[in-house]
């Protein structure tokens, strides 16, 4: 390809000898492409100029490595103050997409790498989409995760291309599809190896083949008589995961489709109106905030390129075993040691199950992950490892004596990390010659599901070791949160008063079902009683015991009694609930006269402890408290975290509630000293 090249700020236009205009997006001063306002305006201007000199075809492509367009600029999104501004923001995008869709020549989007949100909508406005079959290629419309739905024409155009079921599924889940799946549902027209992508784009541009129609069934499903029935099924499914008052976006998307599908122009107009309304909701603002918090956590540990070659895990129990298999899945060479060979056999079996779950029928990947994971009864791996993760019994004495034994065998610069959930690092480092190399890597259970890892800084932990531990957590796909070594660290400390309040309420005779419902109504993913049963009442009791001493909170008698009688929760078949096939048996008719008070008691304890952690500087900022509680406990993300919630609702208003509860239930509801300053 020779010919004219015009370089713009973000777009470079290349017109080849066949008069195809190749529009290269290379957003200035950025590693990735975003569809920010300036990028949209520049492309809009380019398309305007085409009207005097229309090319034979237009191809849109990215000049960034392994990525197409990550989506709209979310930072710009945060500047929208009212629905008029939001409407103008969306109209700008709509104007461009409509102009692109109306070009009289063939238009092709050539996708390689990440293509999300606005990037997918830009592609949908082209007549053809060709994509590389590379692993790096992922295509999706994840707007729902930010409390909105596609707003640059993506709703109507994805439904037009893929039919309502597939399109609504990707929009409602927000998941990004590998290119093969995208082809299967008709989202892209062709997938080819990367080396042939340009050729494929050129073929589509030159020959403009007739596109396959949507098919009779898909058209039928979009019919106005069927839409209400299907929409009501969709609402039912969504309501299992998200309540309308908490997450309005999926419901708005279903309404939009039900009312306006079949009329493209109308649906596009209504889409912009709907997203303009959603964009300024508290939910969208908080979800956007959570997105940025997540980005901030991901940036921890970026300062170092630390990557251990060999990880050795000691303790092949629930946590150690799962940490080891997770690391193997992430590409690390791992050895796992346990004092009990029977336990190691079970660890091996569980690891195989998790590899199968992860890789499904990809035998090669399963074998490769298994090859990376060694069962090491004798602990040979200790002397080879760059990182040793200890996950043995929660007993300071036992841990200390293990450290004494292994430290002389460890490499000089190896890191020793403990997964302790409650013991202060200072109580563990006393037996070490190099206490600076001890750090906490506190994973949560179940390891594969929980995104957070608390990086615990003891008084003596080296700063470099903190950085390296964060870099490792990040590299294995977790969100690192640096936390001061103090009882319960951050997440368990904030969660425990809330759990204990729930247990105390059961002791007062309030049905567990009512307590759990009060929490899920607030937006928690699972009620505290079911959570305690799931974690294990013995584990809850141990953590509560340590916190009770440190924070002067009494341990509820009923918790002691349950553990004493062998009722340990889900794992023993009975706890606060009885379990049938791993599911709690709940009484649907359970009733209590003051459900709001139940919710207040739960939530206020949690908020008060979060405030205390803020005052004590357990993590570096109030943002990190919110992030830790959201990613460590699942705390209602649409509320933006506990500190954000206090600020939004007003600390004075919530303070009044606290004082009322204090009158009825005592000092544990006295607002923390830092409360008023929020
Ligand atoms: P577990 O009881 O399931 O596993 C502990 C394993 O360590 C057992 O297999 C035991 O045989 C082995 N072990 C004990 N002493 C050993 C030694 N000296 N050398 C080699 N192996 C030894 O315990 P779990 O639940 O996996 O907990 C491990 C650690 O992780 C504890 O510190 C716990 O506080 C922490 N943790 C636990 C969580 C949970 O939900 N279970 C969550 C987060 C942290």
Q: Who contacts 255 (Cβ-Cβ below 8 Å, separation ≥6)?
A: 231, 274
What is the rounded distance in angstroms from the CA atom of residue 205 to the CA atom of residue 18? 10
What is the number of the ligand 1 atom nearest to the C-alpha of 422?
34
Q: What pLDDT band is residue 555 in, cutting at 50, 70 and 90?
A: confident
Residue ranges lining ligand 1, Cβ < 6 Å: 314-320, 337-340, 343, 391-394, 398, 402, 419-421, 443-445, 535, 539
Q: What angle do CA 349, 355, 357 make, to 5 degrees?
A: 105
d(CA 62, CA 546): 55
391 alpha carbon – ligand 1 mean position (Å): 5
Q: Is it the case that residue 525 has pLDDT exceeding 60?
A: yes
Mean pLDDT of the 369-386 span: 97
Number of other CB atoms surrounding residue 286 within 10 Å: 23
Give the global pTM: 0.91
Q: What is the pLDDT of residue 3?
A: 61
Strands (DSSP E) found in 290-419: 310-314, 333-337, 373-375, 387-390, 415-418
Please state, in angstroms and rounded to a whole number, the distance separating the CA atoms of residues 169 and 218: 14
Instruction: Sort residue 243 into left (φ over 0), alpha (ψ -120 to 50) or beta.
Output: beta
Model confidence at 219, in pLDDT bands (50, 70, 90)?
confident
- Whose alpha carbon is nearest atom 15 of ligand 1? 392
Structure-token match 């039900």, residue found: 258
Longest dimension (CA), the chain: 84
pLDDT of 38 higher than 90: yes
Mean pLDDT, rounded, for 653-664: 96
Other C-beta atoms lying within 10 Å of the C-beta of residue 64: 20
Q: How many Cα atoms are found within 13 Å in the side-chain-facing hemisphere of 508?
A: 12
Model confidence at 333, pLDDT cuts 50, 70, 90, reads very high
**Confidence bin at 547 (pLDDT 50/70/90):** confident
The residue-averaged pLDDT of 419-423 equals 91
Residue 527 pLDDT exceeds 90: yes
Q: What is the number of the ligand 1 atom nearest to the C-alpha of 347?
A: 9
What's the 369 CA to ligand 1 centre distance in angstroms?
23
pLDDT of residue 590: 96
pLDDT in tens, 461-516: 999 999 999 999 999 999 999 999 998 999 999 999 999 999 999 999 999 999 99
d(CA 676, CA 671): 8
The yes-or-no verdict on residue 388 having pLDDT over 90 is yes
DSSP SS3 for 471? helix
> What is the residue with the minimal CA distance to atom 17 of ligand 1?
339
Kindly report the average pLDDT of the chain as a whole number.
Answer: 95
Angle CA(194)–CA(196)–CA(198) in degrees, nearest 5? 95
Per-residue pLDDT of 577-635, as tens digits, reads 999 999 999 999 999 999 999 999 999 999 999 999 999 999 999 999 999 999 999 99
How far, in Å, is the centroid of ligand 1 from the Cα of 624? 27
Contacts of 412 (CB under 8 A, 6+ apart): none
Phi first, then psi, for residue 65 (nearest 5°) are -75, 125
pLDDT digits (tens, 9 = 90+) for 173-206: 999 999 999 999 999 999 999 999 999 999 999 9
Instruction: Please tell me the distance from the alpha carbon of residue 360 to that of residue 379, in angstroms, as a whole number.
Output: 31
Cα–Cα distance for residue pair 70/39, rounded to 1 Å: 13
Residues 447-467: what's their mean pLDDT?
Answer: 96
Residues identified as active-site = 421, 442, 454, 492
Ligand 1 atom 18: residue of nearest CA? 402
Could you tell which of 317, 395, 542, 632 is best to mutate to test the pocket of ligand 1, judged by most ligand atoms within 8 Å of the CB? 317
- Looking at the CA of residue 343, tell me the nearest atom of ligand 1: 9
Q: Which atom of ligand 1 is nearest to the CA of 320?
A: 26
Percent of the chain with pLDDT over 70: 100
- Is the pLDDT at 2 greater than 60? The verdict is no
Q: Which stretches of 280-340 are DSSP H helices?
A: 282-298, 318-329
Would you say residue 1 has pLDDT above 60? no
Q: Which residues contact 181 (CB under 8 A, 6 or more apart)?
A: none
What is the per-residue pLDDT across 41-82, written as a single tens digit (0 to 9) for each? 999 999 999 988 999 999 999 999 989 999 999 989 889 999
Q: Which whole number is the average pLDDT over 383-397?
A: 95
- Indicate which atom in ligand 1 lies nearest the CA of residue 398: 18
Q: What is the distance in A from the centroid of ligand 1 to the CA of 442? A: 12
Question: For residue 225, with 0-12 CB atoms within 10 Å meaning exposed, 13-18 middle and 19 or more buried, which class applies?
Answer: exposed
Q: In this model, does residue 405 exceed pLDDT 90?
A: yes
190: helix, strand or coil:
strand
| Residue 658 φ/ψ, nearest 5 degrees | -60, -45
Instruction: Give residue 635 CA to ligand 1 midpoint distance, Å.
Output: 26
CA 612 to ligand 1 center in whole angstroms: 29
Band of residue 9 on the pLDDT scale cut at 50, 70, 90: very high
- Which pLDDT does position 316 carry in this prediction? 96
């Amino acid at each position: 390809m020779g010919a004219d090249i015009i370089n713009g700020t973000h777009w470079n236009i290349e017109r080849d000898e066949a008069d195809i205009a190749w529009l290269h997006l290379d957003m200035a001063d950025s590693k990735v492409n975003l569809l920010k306002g300036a990028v949209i305006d520049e492309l809009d201007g380019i398309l305007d100029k085409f009207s005097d000199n229309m090319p034979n075809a237009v191809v849109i492509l990215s000049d960034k490595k392994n990525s197409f367009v990550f989506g709209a600029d979310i930072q710009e999104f945060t500047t929208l103050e009212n629905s008029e501004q939001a409407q103008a923001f969306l109209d700008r995008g709509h104007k461009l997409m409509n102009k692109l869709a109306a070009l009289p020549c063939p238009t092709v989007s050539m996708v390689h790498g990440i293509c999300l949100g606005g990037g997918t909508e830009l592609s949908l406005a082209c007549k053809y989409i060709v994509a590389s079959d590379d692993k790096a290629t992922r295509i999706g419309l994840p707007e729902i995760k930010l409390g909105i739905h596609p707003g640059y024409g993506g709703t109507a155009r994805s439904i037009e291309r893929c039919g309502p079921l597939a399109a609504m599924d990707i929009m409602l889940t927000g998941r990004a599809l590998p290119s093969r799946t995208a082809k299967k549902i008709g989202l892209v027209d062709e997938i080819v190896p990367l080396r042939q992508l340009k050729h494929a784009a050129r073929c589509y541009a030159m020959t403009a083949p007739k596109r396959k129609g949507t098919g009779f069934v898909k058209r039928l499903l979009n019919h106005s008589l069927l839409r209400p029935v299907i929409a009501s099924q969709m609402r039912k499914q969504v309501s299992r995961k998200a309540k309308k008052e908490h997450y309005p976006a999926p419901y708005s998307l279903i309404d939009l489709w039900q009312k306006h599908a079949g009329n493209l122009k109308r649906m596009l107009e209504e889409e912009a109106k709907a997203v303009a309304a959603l964009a300024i909701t508290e939910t969208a603002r908080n979800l956007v905030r959570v997105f940025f918090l997540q980005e901030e956590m991901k940036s921890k540990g970026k300062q170092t390129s630390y990557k251990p070659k060999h990880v050795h895990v000691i303790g092949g129990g629930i946590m150690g075993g799962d940490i080891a298999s997770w690391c193997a899945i992430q590409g690390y060479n791992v050895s796992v040691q346990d004092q009990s060979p029977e336990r190691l056999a079970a660890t091996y079996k569980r690891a195989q199950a998790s590899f199968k779950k992860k890789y499904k029928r990809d035998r090669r990947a399963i074998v490769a992950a298994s090859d990376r994971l060694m069962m090491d009864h004798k602990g040979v791996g200790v002397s080879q490892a760059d990182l040793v993760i200890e996950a043995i019994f929660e007993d300071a004495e036992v841990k200390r004596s293990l450290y004494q034994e292994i430290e002389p065998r460890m490499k000089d610069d190896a890191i020793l990390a403990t997964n302790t959930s409650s013991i202060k690092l200072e109580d563990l480092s006393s037996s070490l010659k190099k206490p600076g190399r001890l750090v906490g890597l506190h994973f949560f259970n179940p390891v594969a599901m929980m995104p957070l890892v608390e990086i615990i800084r003891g008084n003596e932990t080296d700063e470099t070791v903190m950085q390296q531990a964060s870099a490792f957590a990040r590299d294995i796909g977790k969100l690192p949160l640096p936390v001061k070594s103090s009882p319960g660290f951050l997440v368990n400390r904030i969660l425990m008063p809330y759990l204990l309040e729930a247990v105390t309420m059961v002791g007062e005779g309030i049905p567990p079902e009512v307590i759990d419902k009060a929490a899920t109504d607030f937006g928690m993913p699972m009620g505290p009683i079911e959570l305690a049963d799931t974690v294990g009442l013995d584990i809850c009791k141990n953590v509560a015991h340590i916190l009770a001493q440190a924070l002067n909170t009494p341990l509820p008698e009923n918790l002691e009694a349950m553990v004493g009688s062998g009722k340990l929760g889900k794992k023993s078949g009975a706890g606060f609930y009885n379990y049938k096939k791993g599911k709690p048996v709940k009484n649907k008719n359970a009733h209590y006269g003051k459900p709001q008070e139940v919710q207040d008691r739960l939530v206020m304890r949690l908020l008060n402890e979060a405030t205390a952690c803020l005052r004590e500087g357990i993590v570096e900022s109030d943002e990190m408290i919110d992030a830790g509680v959201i990613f460590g406990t699942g705390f209602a993300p649409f509320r933006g975290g506990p500190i954000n919630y206090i600020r939004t609702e007003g600390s004075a208003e919530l303070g009044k509630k606290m004082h009322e509860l204090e009158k009825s239930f005592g000092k544990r509801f006295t607002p923390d000293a830092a409360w008023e300053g929020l």
